[in-house]
Copies of this chain bind each other. A is one copy, B any other.
């Protein structure tokens, strides 16, 4: 449990008053889990996340089951949570996926593009432009149905095959996604190599090409421990949408040591300390991540979850703990 009065709320200058957390644990966090998580557990996870105060919870992906077997139950899962009073975006890789999502009443969808050719090839078996061409009718039809579209862009900072990613390359794909009608973008540091100066430079480069900060979300991975420092830099630039994963669930299969997404709890701790409103109940969220960790059979990688873990939790003790 949190200690009374900690963290002390001390606002810093020039930061946004509110931040919207785009919670990705149920989709991005779970998609690489080997053991199949039962559909009812996923639904319960999403319900608990909503109950903890998260308002945007990415629910699942309407991808072909062969690609992501863990999310093969999208059709069964979505109706179980569709009535929750939160935004429930779902990933749609192509028109077939969009059809499935729309048939179930999804009001928010996301497409998943790459800033690099290597990852486009590895992840989508397409060139960057072929992938964009595939998304174009998806976005057009979603917009025609008045559905909100998020464009994910992966490998915005570094790529495991190509090394540093040129800014122009990222800017070009961002522009293409916005031009085809995406409502917002999520700039992904898929292998976690970004640092704050790089983040600021990319955001500035996007602004210079006419992309307003209000359309930009950030999606940092904690592979090198940089996610929260990068988030601070993005907030200082005016970003108000931050992706995070409850308990730090998830990882990138292409990063050698897959410490994955920024943990929502670590983010909420910082935002609470900065006096930035998120609407999230940290104790409730931590309890949810502990509950999910027990379902998955291993402790959460989130530092905050470990620090706040309940005495009676199966995973309240960090296995590396010294005393």
* Chain A interfacial positions (CB closer than 8 Å to B): 3-12, 15, 32-34, 157-158, 160, 163-164, 192-198, 200-201, 222-226, 228-229, 231-233, 251, 253, 255-259, 263, 266, 269-270, 272-275, 298-299, 301-304, 306-307, 309, 316-323
Contacts and interface: CB of A to CB of B under 8 A. Distances in A.
Nearest to A165: B8
B259 A307 contact: yes
Which of A33, A193, A225, A272 has the largest count of B CB atoms less than 10 A from its CB? A225
A307 B224 contact: yes
B304 A224 contact: yes
A201 B309 contact: no
Contacts of A251: 321-323
B6 A270 contact: no
Q: Please provide the 8 A-B residue pairs with the shortest distance between their CB atoms, ordered closest to farther.
A: A195-B273, A225-B266, A12-B197, A225-B303, A10-B197, A8-B164, A5-B163, A10-B198
A311 to B, nearest CB: 9
B163 A4 contact: yes
Contacts of A160: 3
A163 B255 CA distance: 38
B320 A270 contact: no
Contact of A225 (B194, B201, B269, B321): B269
A34 B322 contact: yes
Contacts of A164: 5-6, 8
Given A228-B229, A323-B34, A8 B158 contact: yes
B197 A275 contact: yes
Given A196-B274, A224-B266, 4 more contacts: A3-B163, A226-B228, A226-B269, A251-B323
A280 to B, nearest CB: 15
Contact of A303 (B7, B195, B222, B306): B222
Given A12-B196, A233-B12, A257 B3 contact: no
Given A7-B158, A256-B307, A270 B226 contact: yes
